[in-house]
Structure 1
């Protein structure tokens, strides 16, 4: 048979369009064969010495209402705490295998998250919601979280672990697991920080990443014990029955109050597990995870609980520290990542050790914050904590951008570097946050400054070169500037 008698598909012309189409088709088939999301990267494995497990826990609450504001569409309370949902990352038993599929990075139904993002963009309708859903599926729909689902908790952990820069080593021993409660930022959810949380779990920490239902996230599915479900999407002032006196600052305060209630409910659930009620928490969990919780009694170190948060969650974490430690909020430290700016005023009434870390983009950009430079407000807050006799640090992570602590740069490294201006390697970007968090947790346990936290001020202002009290050691020069440290208060 001559070539001219073959069907057109079997005798293609090597045009640019044909070449591009073939490359695209090969890429799609490759991603399908290897289970990779289109146009993005899979999340990496965790680097710590422990395997990592994860459990989604949704626990019924007592119908606590933090505001009388109602939705226009239904007349129902907008800030009614029906359930609290969080993902619990923990050191897992070595070699434990799960018979459950790994959690998706964007939870099902994916359309809830997609519609929520469309609402953020103020273009939500049937067509745009469908487009957002298809786009989200193409970008991240098959991305999974590497942690093993619902496997047994590791029996014990070493007494103290130090980063590679620490020379002094304590004696070996065993202890319960320090706990971190993590609050996500605006337009985010509990799954946007899985690598940060999982890395800490791989190093011996239990991390509860909360899903906030305050309207600041894109979308979430509320699940009740009786099997009923209802979606909750992003909402703003236009969706609420409010008068002219209820403005954007009022809404933000209402959201922060609701977030604090969710933080307190998360602590309640963790305490119940630690007190021996894990079986009840499992039975009441509509997500059907936590079958081993009954064996977790006494496994948490509730004397070393840290509240942490990023962006809006950092502002909320600072609010939760007012009056802490107390029974509802037993926090003995705060990890605060990129607080303030558009998320409302910062609570200065803090009486526990804190570590505030700015991304490079957060420190570099000058912002007026309630009449003062934002950098100055944060610096004065940290100095105030030091003056009250509690150790506090304020530093900048060089080369990072606001999303660097999230999973986004790991999944879309080229896109995020291009759009945010981040210059740090995406793995280093998360790694520097994990390392300094571990040093901060160890300080709270041993009351000893180690690694980066053992240094004094290197740059009293961002990018200054002549007013620090200590030269930054070579090992840290690429990654850090220290603006406030305990000895310099």
Structure 2
């Protein structure tokens, strides 16, 4: 069956999460702090509010994000000095703006299945810090993040400030104007090793500062942070004070997709004391090619998407593979067959249900559609965390058995790149 976005009261929205908790979300910024990076992340969490579709936030929180997604795919050329060059640049810029409108229209401009700024449930939950991939942002993985939160986790989805996001929103106080940090684009022909190494260093520091900020908020020290509501009607949550005592930073999990997967590996390598488990989704291993240190691989799960993974990437990943004796689950590398690189994002779910979306992103597998792929990512994620929390593997082995025709374990160096 082909999956398409659900629609309630005429409004398209991302799929409802599968757990028992209703999910809330809000955006948190840091105020300027000496020798600290500016932080911005979206928090997903179990809320005490009832489901209210009128309070679902937009998946595209600003038109700037649609424009940035499109510009990354169809970049505007650099303007030069001649009149003809400037005319070409202007026309290309207008075309990108038109395509951004088209982007919103084709994806249905969906809402996220979460209550914006709903009051959190008065219960302590483990923390997940999530790192996005290149040309993504804090909302790109909303279906996955809301599903994890609905099962009793608090998820902090960082919008990275290393110039790898499609665009990054900046704000130093609630009353100031928003500014934007654009993505850094490599000039044609320039090697990307130096840029990715610099970005990975920045991301590592940003993740740890994000963890410390959430520890501050959990302990009631929140003067350095503030909430940004998308509109006045969303102001329901009673500041950050209501999160005191409920963010389980002592049981933190690190995860990410693509370059966020590399960020996950790096953070487990250098900050093993902070994270008791890590899940790397379709990791792009290029930024880790020169890494000498290997993390505690028993903490680390790779979930790969077959159509992206090629021999060079898998060869680097092979250094981090480990096996588990006495278990049917025999590797910390699991691959979803025929999955595209976007399989854990909202991109395919949002687009492949429409004719034009299928033209752009290809038809869905009728036996294992984009939504089923998302659910599989969440189930593997939750089962891996359960394994480390409870020292039990049965949830993971059950997840593998349920979808065994769509998965395989271990690294297959004959896999083809997309």
Identify if the C-alpha distance between structure 1 residues 418 and 135 changes in structure 2 by more than 3 Å, giving closer, same or farther: closer
Report what 1:28 is aligned to: none
- Does residue 152 of structure 1 match 2:119? yes
Identify if the C-alpha distance between structure 1 residues 150 and 451 changes in structure 2 by more than 3 Å, giving closer, same or farther: same
The gaps in structure 1 that reach 5 residues or longer are: 1-30, 37-41, 66-80, 157-175, 456-471, 485-489
Deviations 1:11-38 (A, max 9, x none): xxxxxxxxxxxxxxxxxxxx998234xx
Deviation (angstroms), 1:400: 2.1
1:315–1:346: 8 Å Cα contact kept in structure 2? no
- SS state of the match for residue 31, structure 2? strand
CA–CA distance in 1 between the matches of 2:398 and 2:71?
46
Report what 1:443 is aligned to: 387
1:335–1:437: 8 Å Cα contact kept in structure 2? yes
Report what 1:121 is aligned to: 74
CA–CA distance in 2 between the matches of 1:250 and 1:188?
20
CA–CA distance in 1 between the matches of 2:241 and 2:378?
29
Between 221-230 and 266-275, the greater mean CA deviation after superposition = 221-230
- Does residue 184 of structure 1 match 2:132? yes
Deviation (angstroms), 1:312: 1.0
2:128–2:252: 8 Å Cα contact kept in structure 1? yes
The one of 246, 271, 282 aligned to 1:299 = 246
Report what 2:272 is aligned to: 325
The TM-score normalised by the length of structure 1 is 0.69
The one of 156, 169, 183 aligned to 1:234 = 183
Identify if the C-alpha distance between structure 1 residues 311 and 58 changes in structure 2 by more than 3 Å, giving closer, same or farther: same
- SS state of the match for residue 382, structure 1? coil
- SS state of the match for residue 58, structure 1? strand
Identify if the C-alpha distance between structure 1 residues 136 and 263 changes in structure 2 by more than 3 Å, giving closer, same or farther: same
1:116–1:233: 8 Å Cα contact kept in structure 2? no
Deviation (angstroms), 1:155: 2.6
2:259–2:285: 8 Å Cα contact kept in structure 1? no
Between 343-352 and 424-433, the greater mean CA deviation after superposition = 343-352
The TM-score normalised by the length of structure 2 is 0.79
Report what 1:165 is aligned to: none
Report what 1:405 is aligned to: 344
Deviations 1:257-277 (A, max 9, x none): 121222122112211111122
CA–CA distance in 1 between the matches of 2:403 and 2:73?
38
- Does residue 378 of structure 1 match 2:311? no
The residue correspondences of 1:468-479 to structure 2 (distance < 5 A) are 473=401, 475-479=402-406
Deviation (angstroms), 1:86: 0.8
The residue correspondences of 1:241-320 to structure 2 (distance < 5 A) are 247-278=191-222, 280=223, 284-287=226-229, 291-320=238-267
- Structure scoring higher RCO (CA < 8 A, sep ≥ 6) equals 2
Identify if the C-alpha distance between structure 1 residues 407 and 216 changes in structure 2 by more than 3 Å, giving closer, same or farther: same
- SS state of the match for residue 260, structure 2? helix
- Does residue 220 of structure 1 match 2:187? no
Between 297-306 and 180-189, the greater mean CA deviation after superposition = 297-306
- Does residue 134 of structure 1 match 2:101? yes
Identify if the C-alpha distance between structure 1 residues 422 and 33 changes in structure 2 by more than 3 Å, giving closer, same or farther: closer
Report what 1:102 is aligned to: 56
CA–CA distance in 2 between the matches of 1:341 and 1:267?
23
Report the aligned-residue RMSD. 3.2
The gaps in structure 2 that reach 5 residues or longer are: 1-6, 78-89, 412-418
Deviation (angstroms), 1:344: 5.0
- Does residue 54 of structure 1 match 2:8? no
